[in-house]
Copies of this chain bind each other. A is one copy, B any other.
Amino acid sequence: MIPVIEEAELRAAVTPARAIDVIRDAFRADGEGRTTVPPVINLGVPHGEFHVKTAHIAGVPHVAVKIASGFYGNVSNGLPTGSGLMALFDAETGLPAALLLDNGFLTDIRTGAAGAVAAEGLARYSIETVGVIGSGVQARYQVQCLRIVRPFSRVVAWSPSRERLERYCDEMRADGVQAIAATTVEEVCAAADVLVTSTPSREPLVRAEWLRPGMHVTAVGSDSAGKQELSGFCLIRADLVAVDRRAQCAAFGELTHAVEAGLKIEPIELGEIVAGRRTGRTNDSQITVADLTGVGFQDTAIASAAFCWIGS
């Protein structure tokens, strides 16, 4: 029998601050060439989809295999649309070490943490307003993690659902942040020092002309083929485009659409910045974009760390 760890225990152990430290280390390992990341499995089924990610990080004692599902029709049955679990294996023996029944929590927090790590390398040191497109789980985790590395006083948000947007803004206020519900994406862009896009959109929401000097954009919504939040021209307009993994971003990230449109983008990898091999932002007027699709080494890093914290 192996330990089976439930979501509540994982939530108690894995805080945003701890997650950021772990995910920063994972990106550093990647930038130093210490990760092995095979292509992900995408399995489409009649009512949903499964994604499987895994990776090895030299120096991390486990390998996680993460299985995530998305079944959007679940809403009508009162079930969660996204779910998942991680199986953890000993990296030295291959033997099963633990099952983490996180229902997607570890994915959510490591994605938020990756946004914070991107901001450390790409956002201005001093920011006031965070723009948020979307009102779902990542609209929350991105903001929660970002404020640890770049404190701010205000959120301006937009979402296709006005009801969800109002609820989101109420939550932000309860967290001590001034929150404004915007009526257009353009309005959010006009106010944002850092812009987070976190929707499952299949057409561009953000136009290149709305990006302003000094702005940093983190796009986390495009995590499978067909999804898109930024116009391809946003990536051309940016002075610096960072991706979490070139191969993935070219296959199903924001980068895909720019490349398909024939635009020549030369992204750097976030790991290269964290490892000090490439330079992130160098002045306050650059426009920067981070295209984050979620990489298996983040799952291995967060799952191994969570298991070690809970075990100790």
- Interface residues of A, Cβ cutoff 8 Å to B: 1-2, 4, 6, 36, 38-50, 52, 54-56, 58, 63, 65, 67, 69-71, 74, 77, 79-80, 83-85, 87, 89, 91-96, 99, 101
Contact = CB atoms under 8 A, between A and B. Distances in A.
A52 B69 contact: no
Given A38-B43, A69-B95, A71-B94, 15 more contacts: A1-B101, A2-B101, A38-B41, A38-B42, A41-B52, A43-B56, A48-B94, A50-B54, A65-B65, A67-B87, A67-B89, A70-B94, A80-B95, A83-B95, A87-B99
B70 A50 contact: no
B45 A74 contact: no
B36 A39 contact: no
B43 A54 contact: yes
A70 B95 CA distance: 9
A93 B79 contact: yes
Contacts of A4: 1, 4, 99
B94 A101 contact: no
Contacts of A93: 47-48, 71, 74, 77, 79, 83
A39 B94 CA distance: 21
Contacts of A36: 43-45
A54 to B, nearest CB: 6
Contacts of A43: 36, 38, 54-56, 63
A294 B45 CA distance: 21
Nearest to A40: B41
A45 B83 CA distance: 28
Contacts of A56: 43, 45
Contact of A94 (B58, B83, B95, B99): B83
Contacts of A39: 39, 41
Contact of A65 (B6, B50, B91, B95): B50
13 contacts: A1-B4, A2-B101, A4-B99, A41-B52, A45-B56, A45-B63, A69-B95, A70-B94, A71-B92, A80-B95, A83-B94, A83-B96, A87-B87
A183 to B, nearest CB: 34
Nearest to A94: B69
A52 to B, nearest CB: 6
Contacts of A41: 38-41, 52, 54
A109 B211 CA distance: 58
A2 to B, nearest CB: 7
A154 to B, nearest CB: 37
A104 to B, nearest CB: 10
A69 B89 contact: yes
Nearest to A57: B45
A65 B63 contact: no
